[in-house]
């Protein structure tokens, strides 16, 4: 009998708690809706870029589940995905050919297709393909990589034949009403020949000048150069990169995003003759890799804010992240961890002392190198 008297009271408490929680939920949802309305109604679009998606043999091993015999790279990105997904447009450089089995590591790579799936799970809308490894597995590797990527998202920089390049390069994307053109080229293909009729864009200034004109003729209001260049492990851009960046700015490129050195390089705003400025991220470093040494064990995301009405780049920011190789919750993997959020103790895990020291060193060195641009990593 007693329990019958208490039961309705218990139900009232439950109902009250439910109403309070539900009400809070509604307020929060309304706030979020208002926020997204504000963003949707604003004139600003955000673009996020990541560096080299590598697929070294130890990464392939970590991604393999011996029970299911399947590969998965998706969990590597769980902490970085919230920094990429909200962007209006995001892209990275796929440095490793998807040439099928047997999967191989350096120097002639072929990674499982799941390497691409893992990267795309973060929200990339397109992938760059012009890099020094794209021809590692010859014509078959180029063709298979191109076809595999394009079944999922558009790619830029590599084509199956010249006529295809003519018709779809530069890659023009309609980003919420703004037409943006992406260029992509590489300094070389490690001396590996590019078998005909495949085309890999090389750094050719006369051609690039024409490509920018083509982008404008086809209606692009903003032109972004993504380029594979520079010297590996050099922390500062060299004279050649600096002079190319000036050339790009002066022929009408609105932002330059670099990759290849496997370290983060310096940043600068280049002023054009008409006083407008062009942000240059010389190298974003690795997106993911097995390179465990100082400065290569992390990378940055570059964020551009672009005016939807004019196509003008309004702002540039970066977010540093560390690639942790080790276990979290008992699972061995490579985890991309935004450093500022980690150092602000926003995660419910703690890295082993040595890894935490490397993360801190990466964070410090990256902020020091990029003193002239703001980070957006502080939560
Ligand atoms: Zn490279």
> How far is C-alpha 335 from the geometric centre of its chain's CA atoms?
15
CA–centroid distance, residue 79 to ligand 1 (Å): 25
Name the pairing type of β-strands 44-53 and 89-94: parallel
Where in 170-265 does DSSP place strands (E)? Answer: 171-175, 178-186, 199-200, 222-228, 255-259
Q: Does 29 score more than 50 pLDDT?
A: no
Q: Does 49 score more than 60 pLDDT?
A: yes
Which pLDDT score, from 0 to 100, does residue 330 have?
84
Which pLDDT score, from 0 to 100, does residue 4 have?
45
Instruction: Please give the average per-residue pLDDT across 282-292, as a whole number.
Output: 96
Which of 315, 307, 243 has the alpha carbon at shortest distance from 277?
315
Bond into 283 cis (ω within 30):
no
pTM of the model: 0.88
Which pLDDT score, from 0 to 100, does residue 41 have?
57
% of the chain surpassing 90 pLDDT:
86
CA–centroid distance, residue 209 to ligand 1 (Å): 23
Which pLDDT score, from 0 to 100, does residue 8 have?
52
Q: Does 268 score more than 80 pLDDT?
A: yes
Which pLDDT score, from 0 to 100, does residue 11 have?
47
CA–centroid distance, residue 109 to ligand 1 (Å): 12
Instruction: Please give the average per-residue pLDDT across 311-340, as a whole number.
Output: 94
3-state secondary structure of 318: strand
CA–centroid distance, residue 130 to ligand 1 (Å): 9
Backbone angles phi, psi at 342, to 5 degrees: -65, -45
Question: Which CA distances in Å does 246 have to 96, 254, 317?
Answer: 29, 11, 20
CA–centroid distance, residue 290 to ligand 1 (Å): 14
CA–centroid distance, residue 279 to ligand 1 (Å): 21
CA–centroid distance, residue 95 to ligand 1 (Å): 6
Which pLDDT score, from 0 to 100, does residue 30 have?
40
CA–centroid distance, residue 259 to ligand 1 (Å): 7
Burial of 7 (0-12, 13-18, 19+ CB in 10 A): exposed
CA–centroid distance, residue 237 to ligand 1 (Å): 15
CA–centroid distance, residue 138 to ligand 1 (Å): 16
Instruction: Please give the average per-residue pLDDT across 36-59, as a whole number.
Output: 83
Q: CA-based angle 166:260:194, to the nearest 5?
A: 45
The count of C-alpha atoms lying within 13 angstroms of the C-alpha of 207, restricted to the half-sphere facing its C-beta, is: 13
Instruction: Please give the average per-residue pLDDT across 86-109, as a whole number.
Output: 96
Q: Report the range of poorest mean pLDDT among 84-88, 153-157, 325-329, 353-357.
A: 325-329
CA–centroid distance, residue 261 to ligand 1 (Å): 7
Band the pLDDT of 24: cuts 50, 70, 90. very low
CA–centroid distance, residue 65 to ligand 1 (Å): 28
CA–centroid distance, residue 296 to ligand 1 (Å): 13
Longest dimension (CA), the chain: 91
Q: Are 189 and 135 in contact (CB under 8 A)?
A: yes
Which of 151, 337, 343, 184 has the alpha carbon at shortest distance from 260?
184
Alpha-carbon span 181 to 168, nearest angstrom: 11
CA–centroid distance, residue 42 to ligand 1 (Å): 37
3-state secondary structure of 273: coil
Buried b (16+ CB within 10 A) or exposed e, 161-188: eeeebeeebbbbbebeebbbbbbbbbbe
End-to-end Cα separation, the chain, in angstroms = 53
Alpha-carbon span 63 to 66, nearest angstrom: 10
pLDDT digits (tens, 9 = 90+) for 226-250: 999 999 999 999 999 999 999 999 9
């Amino acid at each position: 009998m007693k329990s019958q008297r208490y039961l309705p009271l218990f139900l009232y408490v439950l109902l009250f708690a439910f109403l309070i929680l539900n009400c809070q939920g509604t307020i929060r949802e309304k706030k979020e809706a208002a926020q997204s309305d504000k963003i949707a109604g604003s004139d600003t679009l955000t673009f996020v870029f990541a560096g080299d998606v590598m697929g070294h043999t130890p990464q392939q091993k970590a991604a393999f589940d011996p029970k299911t015999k399947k590969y998965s790279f998706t969990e590597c990105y769980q902490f970085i995905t919230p920094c990429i997904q909200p962007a209006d447009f995001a892209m990275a450089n796929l440095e490793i050919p998807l040439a099928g089995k047997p999967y191989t590591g350096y120097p002639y790579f072929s990674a499982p297709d799941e390497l691409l799936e893992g990267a795309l799970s973060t929200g990339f809308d397109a992938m760059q393909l012009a890099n020094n490894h794209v021809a590692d597995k010859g014509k078959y590797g180029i063709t298979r990589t191109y076809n595999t990527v394009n079944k999922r998202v558009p790619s830029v920089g590599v084509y199956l034949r010249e006529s295809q390049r003519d018709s779809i390069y530069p890659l023009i994307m309609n980003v919420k009403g703004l037409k943006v053109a992406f260029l992509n080229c590489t300094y070389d293909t490690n001396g590996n020949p590019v078998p005909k009729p495949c085309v890999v864009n090389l750094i050719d200034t006369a051609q690039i000048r024409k490509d920018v004109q083509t982008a404008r003729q086809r209606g692009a209001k903003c032109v972004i150069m993504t380029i594979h260049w520079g010297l590996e492990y050099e922390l500062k851009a060299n004279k050649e990169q600096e002079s190319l960046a000036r050339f790009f700015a002066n022929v009408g490129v609105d932002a330059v995003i670099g990759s290849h050195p496997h370290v983060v390089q310096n940043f600068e705003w280049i002023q054009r003759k008409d006083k407008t400025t062009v942000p240059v991220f010389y190298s974003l470093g690795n997106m993911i890799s097995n390179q465990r040494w100082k400065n290569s064990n992390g990378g940055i995301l570059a964020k551009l804010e672009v005016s939807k009405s004019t196509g003008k780049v309004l702002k540039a920011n970066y977010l540093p992240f560390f690639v942790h190789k080790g276990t979290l919750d008992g699972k061995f993997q490579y985890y991309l961890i935004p450093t500022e959020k980690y150092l602000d103790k926003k995660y419910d895990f703690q890295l082993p002392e040595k890894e935490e020291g490397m993360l801190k060193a990466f964070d410090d060195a990256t902020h020091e190198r990029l003193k002239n641009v703001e980070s957006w990593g502080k939560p």
